[in-house]
Amino acid sequence: MVRYVYEFTDGGRDMADLLGGKGANLAEMTRLGLPVPSGFTVTTEACRAFLASGSEPEGMLQEVSRHLSVLEKSAGRLLGQRDDPLLVSVRSGARFSMPGMMETVLDIGLNDESVLGLAKASGSDRFAWDSYRRLVQMFGSTVMGVDSALFDEAMTLLKETREAPDDLHLDANDLAWLVETYKRLIHDQTGQEFPQSPAEQLRLAILAVFRSWNGERARLYRRREHIPDDLGTAVTVQRMVYGNRGTDSGSGVAFTRDPATGRPGLYGDYLSNAQGEDVVAGIRNTVPLADLERLDADSYRRLLDHMGTLERHYRDLCDIEFTIERGTLWMLQTRVGKRTAEAAFAIAAELVDEGQITPEEALARVGGDGLARLMFPRFDTAVTGDALAHGLPASPGAAVGAAVFDSAEAVRRAAAGEKVVLVRQETTPDDLPGMVAAEAVLTSRGGKTSHAAVVARGMGKVCVCGAEELTVHTEARRFTTPDGTVVEQGTVISVDGSVGAVYAGEVPLVASAAMRYLETGEESDSVVAGVARALQHADSVRRLEVRANADTPEDAARARRFGAQGIGLCRTEHMFLGERRKLVERMILARTDAERDQALNALLPLQRQDFAGILEAMDGLPVTIRLLDPPLHEFLPDHTELAVRIAAAEARGEQPDPHDVELLDAVNRMHEENPMLGLRGVRLGLVVPGLVAMQVRAIAEAVVARMRAGGSPEAEIMVPLVGAVEELRLAREEVERVLAEVTAETGVPLHCPVGTMIELPRAALTAGRIAEEAEFFSFGTNDLTQTTWGFSRDDVEAAFFSAYLDKGIFATSPFETLDRDGVGRLIRIAVDEGRAARPDLKIGVCGEHGGDPESVHFFHAAGLDYVSCSPFRVPVARLEAGRAAL
């Protein structure tokens, strides 16, 4: 018999798969002896069964009733009984936190009779009716599907007629009237009555929470956060405690450290006489947590105590939801808190210093995506001028975009390629699509724990919240500042989430502190110190070497400063561009061997110089130089351009330039339908006489020159796009012939390892044979992905990848994160068979994937020796290679 319900006393933090994060942590807090209102959790398994079949799994409801009875017995009251009713909340909670994305219903058990009982028992009519109106509204929107804006409108209207600045100024009569209005609204909208039976309320609320797993915003959030769609949510049923019982009560949200910067110390917001989402919804202005000390010293002290307990227990930043009911503190939620990349690095290092975690654990808690974010440029504060407004630095970073005032507009403009900043009074879960689309989120209300702040931090979006100097006129699509500045929709603004400021126009950018550290070693703050520590530790534990893809001495030097241990891919085609195009043209158009040799001889000294510069920048470290790879016609002018030039000359009655005519002829001759699969890579070297020889000679002579200058050049020669060992054998013979020639000419013995790229399925599948001729392999995962999937990267990404992502065919583009099942399988085969044939075969990867965190973990597991990526990804790869080795 499957068990669908667990009491808090039966669960624990390691049961999050089954109980969701919220349920598991409520159980954990209960076990730690913290004051948690009692309750139980219905499992994610029940949810999955419900979503699969459309009805609740057999026995689930009986189990719920049984556990409800236990709750009732311990409370000494029945759910919704007429006098002094027991009320419960029904709360969603998935394995991975999805803040505000699913539903929660509070005050279940109230009806037209029990509301009177609650009033009597509590001695407060206002409190009872306030609770009832909350239930009818939440139940009406969540369970019965009424647009929540309709309830808000009724509330706003009532406040206006009563001239009440906020909900606290509504009295019991007002609230009772509101309940009637809400009930009528529900009836008008759905044709159904708000259910009076407490048991029915409970059952419907549980099922509604199950269904909210597949709500639109929950799905969108999951896709964005790469959370699987098939986990389901748990449902927690918990005895209500009341933060809305008067001024000696309230609700709050707190963090044990600053989740934006990582600085130690308590952070949070508190709202007195409030329940549930009031704190994060920004209906009234919250006070900083520190003010609670003045309001209720005793609860404050206890709260600090519990937060200390939780942080020591979880050994990490925790966030907490709590409620105070008439001076009694209740803990309603905790979890290891979401944080910015800044905070992640700072906190990890600090916890190591405090002796709470090991350097290994610290490394496990930071990541390459976060590091990449820290490397983004910041605003140049020297030139920012006066801010339009200041708010809370809720999620750091610099963002520039056009101000927009609603989610739909943000989505529309972003889809058209415009950068936007979403400006709202406060955000709600309905704003999620706009937040995803925007570069930054700016709100005029709400604290660091407001919806906007929490969600933006989770997504790594820039956010400034609570910018109270701003007046946001959502309807009119503009905001104003105290000095009278008006910012209309479409006006470009700059948002600095690191300091909490908004500027007019586009503020220029400068290098971030993390980037300065990587360039110069300067440790300017605790975040950078955390980055330094994490990278040092990663370097000490990683097995994978990290190289860079670099084609110029400048890139090579930067990569080296960033910690690259060599160059894994030096593309020679970049050296054929610019002024040298003319020489390449001459080589292509050559009619005789002599003409071709002449062109190649002109290219030789230029190439030699390029290689010497790179070998110097990487002195003592390996530099893998790839022989020319792209089809030669890429170096010729564009067909249309030539045709137009010729036609224009003819139209003027002139003779077209004979060179143009010759070029056009060549372009026509060399045209390929599928250049990606055409005459390129090793194929070029085998059919264009002298091409390989010239390049190898340039490399060899550069090596000799470097050696004579006292350097230690370590050039490696890499042959691209090999599909058969015979191709590599022929290319290699040519390489070795030239190396021997240069040795004979200079008297300097040369050994340059010769290897190949593995970027065709056939190469991977015949790797054992190919290894006979290769001293190293380097997986060209860009081409290998193209050729394995049959995708032309330049064509497919725009054409249908977003449809494929929507349909769940893959969760991320295989060009971003390596496809383990397909491309990964080929890599494993090639590694196994290559090493079997040649045990000392050196194996690396030089596609974009070399700098992708998840892919780096795969390459580590597949036993590669190194990854090579763009210079800016080198620190990311170092960090992830270290994490992969943990």
Residues designated as active site: 451, 846
Residue range at the interface with ligand ADP (CB under 6 A); choices 86-94, 155-163, 366-374, 603-611: 86-94
Residue 470 Cβ, how far from Mg ion at the closest point, in Å? 26
Is 680 within any annotated ligand binding site? Answer: no
Which span sits near ligand ADP by CB under 6 A: 238-246, 441-449, 615-623, 740-748? 238-246
How many CA atoms lie within 13 Å of 580's alpha carbon, on the beta-carbon side? 16
Alpha-carbon 166 to chain mean position:
37
> How many of the other CB atoms lie within 10 Å of CB of 709?
12
Binds 124: which of ligand ADP, Mg ion, none (CB < 5-8 Å by kind):
none
Residue 743 labeled ligand binder: no
Is residue 842 within 8 A of residue 503, CB to CB? The reply is no
Question: Is 333 a residue that touches ligand ADP (CB under 6 A)?
Answer: yes
CB of 477 to ligand ADP, least distance (A): 29
CA–CA separation, 312 vs 308, rounded Å? 6
Which of 5, 26, 36, 332 forms a contact with ligand ADP (CB under 6 A)? 332
Q: Which of residues 94 and 764 has its CB atom nearest to ligand ADP in the complex?
A: 94
Alpha helix (H) residue ranges in 271-419: 278-281, 292-295, 297-314, 341-353, 359-364, 368-374, 407-415
785 binds, among Mg ion, ligand ADP, none (CB under 5 to 8 A by kind): none
C-beta separation of 622 from 547 below 8 A: yes
Q: How many residues bind Mg ion (CB under 5 A)?
A: 4
The whole-angstrom separation of Cα 627 and Cα 636 is 19
Q: Which is nearer to Mg ion, 457 or 558 (by Cβ)?
A: 457
User: Which one of 75-83, 219-227, 318-326, 608-616 is the stretch in contact with Mg ion (CB under 5 A)?
Assistant: 318-326
SS3 777: strand
The window from 224-232, 331-339, 621-629, 646-654 that contacts Mg ion (CB under 5 A) reads: 331-339
Q: Are 331 and 320 in contact (CB under 8 A)?
A: yes
Between CA 197 and CA 179 the distance in angstroms is 16
With contacts defined by CB under 6 A, name the span among 233-241, 809-817, 831-839, 841-849 that binds ligand ADP: 233-241
- Nearer Cβ to ligand ADP, position 322 or 866? 322
Q: Which residues contact 435 (CB under 8 A, 6 or more apart)?
A: 407, 410, 422, 427, 441, 452, 455, 456, 459, 461
Is 781 annotated in some ligand binding site? yes
CB–CB of 637/577 below 8 Å?
no
For every residue of 242-281, DSSP letters joined together read -TTSSTT-EEEEEEEE-TTT--EEEEEEEEES--TTHHHH
Q: Which residue has the tokens 């039976």?
A: 197
DSSP for 859-882 reads HHHTT-SEEEE-GGGHHHHHHHHH
Per CB under 6 A, contacts with ligand ADP among 12-51 are 37
Question: 793: Cβ–Cβ under 8 A, 6 or more apart, which residues?
Answer: 782, 785, 786, 815
**In this chain, which stretch among 10-18, 237-245, 413-421, 742-750 interacts with ligand ADP, using CB under 6 A?**
237-245
Q: 98 or 754: whose CB is closer to ligand ADP?
A: 98
Q: Which of 104, 395, 695, 817 binds ligand ADP (CB under 6 A)?
A: 104
Q: Does 331 bind ligand ADP (CB under 6 A)?
A: no
Task: Give the residue with the Cβ less far from ligand ADP, 455 or 742.
Answer: 455
Q: By CB under 5 A, tell whether 39 contacts Mg ion.
A: no
Question: Cβ-count burial of 658 within 10 angstroms (0-12 exposed, 13-18 middle, 19+ buried)?
Answer: exposed
- Binding at 622: pick from ligand ADP, Mg ion, none (beta carbon under 5-8 Å per type): none
Of 89-97, 225-233, 299-307, 871-879, the window that binds ligand ADP (rule: CB under 6 A) is: 89-97
**Looking at 202, 240, 501, 702, which residue binds ligand ADP (CB under 6 A)?**
240
Q: How far is the CB of 241 from ligand ADP (least distance, A)?
A: 5
**Identified binder of ligand ADP from the candidate list 13, 77, 91, 339, rule CB under 6 A:** 91
124 or 333: CB nearest Mg ion: 333
Q: How many residues interact with ligand ADP (rule CB under 6 A)? A: 18
Among 43, 44, 89, 607, binds ligand ADP (CB under 6 A): 89
Partner from ligand ADP, Mg ion, none binding residue 463, C-beta < 5-8 Å depending on class: none
**Shortest distance, position 194 Cβ to ligand ADP, whole Å:** 20
Would you count residue 458 as binding Mg ion (CB under 5 A)? no
Collapsing DSSP to helix, strand or coil, 383 comes out as helix
CA–CA dist 654, 648 (Å, integer)? 9
Selected binder of ligand ADP within 34, 47, 241, 715 (CB under 6 A): 241
Q: Give the nearest distance from C-beta 122 to Mg ion in angstroms.
A: 24
318 binds ligand ADP (CB under 6 A): no
Question: Is residue 141 within the footprint of ligand ADP (CB under 6 A)?
Answer: no
238 vs 766 by CB, closer to ligand ADP: 238
Contact status: 106 vs ligand ADP (CB under 6 A):
yes
Give the residue, chosen from 124, 249, 333, 427, that forms a contact with Mg ion under the rule CB under 5 A. Answer: 333
**φ, ψ for residue 416, nearest 5 deg:** -85, 5
CB of 26 vs ligand ADP, minimal distance in Å: 10
251 binds, among ligand ADP, Mg ion, none (CB under 5 to 8 A by kind): ligand ADP
Three-state SS at 761: helix
Task: Give the residue with the Cβ less far from Mg ion, 107 or 833.
Answer: 107
In terms of Cβ atoms closer than 10 Å to its own Cβ (0-12, 13-18, 19+), residue 871 is buried
Q: Any bridge partners for residue 39, and if so which?
A: 238
Write out the E strands in 528-630.
545-549, 567-571, 622-626
Q: Please tell me whether residue 449 binds Mg ion under the rule CB under 5 A.
A: no
Q: Please tell me what DSSP assigns to residue 428.
A: -
Cα-Cα end-to-end distance for the chain: 39
- Cβ distance to ligand ADP smaller for residue 224 or 586: 224
CB of 847 to ligand ADP, least distance (A): 40
* Of the candidates 395, 373, 389, the residue with the CA atom closest to the CA atom of residue 453: 395
Residues 255-294 that bind ligand ADP (CB under 6 A): 276-277
CA angle 368, 370, 322 (to 5 degrees): 130
8 Å CB contact between 47 and 235: yes
Report which secondary-structure segment, H or E, holds 764. helix 761-765
In the three-class reduction of DSSP (H, G, I as helix; E, B as strand; rest coil), residue 473 is classed as strand
759 labeled part of a ligand binding site: yes
Kindly state the tokens that stand for 375.
Answer: 């490397």
Q: ∠ CA 307-253-367 to the nearest 5 degrees?
A: 75
Crossing angle for the helix pair 513-520 and 553-561, to the nearest 10 degrees: 100
191 is in an annotated binding site: no
Fill in the DSSP letter of residue 8. G
100, 109, 844, 850: residue in contact with Mg ion (rule CB under 5 A)? 100
Provide the angle, in degrees to the nearest 10, between the axes of the packed helices 874-884 and 853-861. 50
Single out the segment in contact with ligand ADP by CB under 6 A; choices: 85-93, 184-192, 711-719, 792-800. 85-93
276 binding partner (options Mg ion, ligand ADP, none; Cβ < 5 to 8 Å by kind): ligand ADP
Residue 333 vs 407, nearer CB to ligand ADP: 333
Among residues 63, 130, 174, 321, the one that binds ligand ADP under rule CB under 6 A:
321
DSSP state of 337: P
Bind-site residues for Mg(2+): 759, 783
Bind-site residues for substrate: 571, 626, 759, 780-783
Bind-site residues: 571, 626, 759, 780-783
Note the residues at the interface with Mg ion (CB under 5 A).
100, 104, 321, 333
Note the residues at the interface with ligand ADP (CB under 6 A).
37, 89, 91-92, 100, 104, 106, 238-241, 251, 276-277, 321, 323, 332-333
